[in-house]
Structure 1
């Protein structure tokens, strides 16, 4: 499922490729099936997978059968895992790679296991998943310690991220905070705007959310809060929900009778199309692995005030100096508090000047996510690791 980490890898690779040779390695055994994701890489970045799509099904079945057979006789051999490692090592040598930057825990684990005794520097970017993996006990501590003992540095995305990771890593490991970067969105003249497409009146206030289609992003809580708001105010308001999954499709079906002002628009390869027509961006997430959600950065890039929970780095994301570009709400019983969500939405409905004030702060808060600064920081951190290695 495409999320913030995958989107950032595209932007980071694209930016680095202006001055360096950059390759993206798909460490899963088989190719990426979402072609729209791969197509977003520029021609200067090559995406490498182990097998071409045409051979994946037959080979996977054959190797799976062999692995099951070896397991039954008490000598399980991980053919696929060994093949991946051989292929990755071959690619590194063939392309004369100087440094590996891995993203997400399963990729970090694969890279470290493959390059445990190699001298090539490894920089890990933690998108908040180590806190999640460790606290949810999805991996034993020896596996994470093995990663931290081998890598040459770790990039964190926020102060919250840095605080969490520092509890688990050795003191000698360099930790660098680098905000994910986003380019300032360009003005696009669409033939039909999002509002026009959904037949939303010009005087209506639009709340919107862009996120992965998992329950922990707070979709249900947002809808419940919006329903409370609609029972309280005479102001015309609409809610646009951008994302797709079986969960969201079921959620849409469950509120079909009330859906006149709640719009499920599905997955969008161009979320800016929808964000542009929001008045306020919302993300009531209670996902434990939350770090630096991209949707918040994108709201800010359009000068949209944000209503969000206090998960991960969100509170520092929407701050500029001592001012806040929106409302931070607490979680109650592990989920976003519906009443607090509704109160924040009503505050914007009842006070247009507050909405405008927060919009101006949002534009200033976005400055720290400048893509050029992000790329330069990564280059410097990579160079430091290379210098130490030599």
Structure 2
């Protein structure tokens, strides 16, 4: 089987759902599936246009025309709508060339945007099955609302659609797509890397064995934490909020430096993915503090799955996607909507180690059953094989 993955993200994926298809591709490769990528993405250091082989996977890259290192970010944003209109034609042209050279059994598009959805029509022409993977909907600006109607075409032309949860499926069926063409493929966990046996003693010693509250990866607001700080510090003056790999690190460091809680925060650069479990293991509580919106509500954050896989208790913004993961368990009590309840849950867990361990065990059992990448990949392969037949 030879699968071509098409989308607008970097390989191997640097954060969030942009890493979903690259991770799945590596598991497919281990099972003997040949996988290639055609990606339209902005350049990163050490990456180039053309063909490259990584992890035994063929990567074909296209860069947007407007990219140039001498252009200001403001000018790039101004020209981006024009580039978005032109990029689909570049993708189609390159895909047309690859189809003539390679014998693809299936094309996998990531997200019903221009980059992920444009292969649908070409696949129909060449009678190649087209599978569309949808992890969320990023329609939160007037600009994207304009193009949403165009993106919908990919949903109706796809032979099969895979989604991360029932909320994304519900949204797609509301658009008129038959539920029979939509299958559930969640995000997963590498349990060889993320598990309760991982030790974080070295990292904990680095921070003087203080109570540690951890957030890994991107976040979009510190308001929930900052508003809760008076109540938290009143009971736990030595608490440390450790943020690993946040965007705009300098901004947040400057923000907290102007408050009396500056000694309760540490922001560090991103660490290699294989070291993330050590940081999770070193902490007492793991948190997710997204702003609630339709976009975040439908998400299935990798960080939540990774926290739970390491046997750590979580406190999260009450998002539909997170609630769906922990439904019918005691963990739902730790989905919060305001600073007061956030502070209350932090203080409760810091005061009770046995409760933290109990909730950690519950979380691990949840993800062990439903979110193992090995099992998810096997299910995905079965869907692909049925499409090809």
The TM-score, its normalising length taken from structure 1, stands at 0.79
104, 109, 121: which one aligns with 2:111: 104
Instruction: Give aligned pairs, total.
Output: 352
Which residue is 1:334 aligned to?
Answer: none
Which residue is 1:284 aligned to?
Answer: 289
Tell me by how many angstroms 1:209 deviates: 0.8
Q: 5+ residue gaps in structure 2? A: 1-12, 48-52
Which residue is 1:94 aligned to?
Answer: 101
Aligned equivalents of 2:202, 2:341: Cα separation in 1: 31
1:138 aligns to what SS in structure 2?
helix
1:78-136 Cα distance to aligned partner (Å, 9 max, x none): 76653332112212332211111122343323333654644221111111126x46999
* Structure 2 residue 268 is matched with structure 1 residue 265: yes
Q: 1:52 to 1:340 in 2, by over 3 A?
A: closer
Which residue is 2:239 aligned to?
Answer: 237
Aligned equivalents of 2:140, 2:130: Cα separation in 1: 20
* Structure 2 residue 21 is matched with structure 1 residue 9: yes
Tell me by how many angstroms 1:303 deviates: 0.4
Q: 5+ residue gaps in structure 1? A: 36-40, 332-336
Aligned equivalents of 1:316, 1:80: Cα separation in 2: 36
Aligned equivalents of 1:314, 1:284: Cα separation in 2: 11
The TM-score, its normalising length taken from structure 2, stands at 0.79
Aligned equivalents of 1:48, 1:125: Cα separation in 2: 19
Aligned equivalents of 1:296, 1:144: Cα separation in 2: 29
Which residue is 2:212 aligned to?
Answer: 206
Which residue is 1:174 aligned to?
Answer: 181
- Name which of structure 1's ranges 167-176 and 142-151 shifts more when overlaid on structure 2: 167-176
Tell me by how many angstroms 1:188 deviates: 6.1
Pairwise CA RMSD = 3.5
Which residue is 1:195 aligned to?
Answer: 204
76, 85, 90: which one aligns with 1:83: 90
Which residue is 2:33 aligned to?
Answer: 20
Write out aligned runs for 1:30-109 (5 A).
Answer: 31-33=43-45, 43-50=55-62, 57=68, 81-106=88-113, 107-109=115-117
2:320 aligns to what SS in structure 1?
coil
1:263 aligns to what SS in structure 2?
strand
188, 207, 225: which one aligns with 1:222: 225
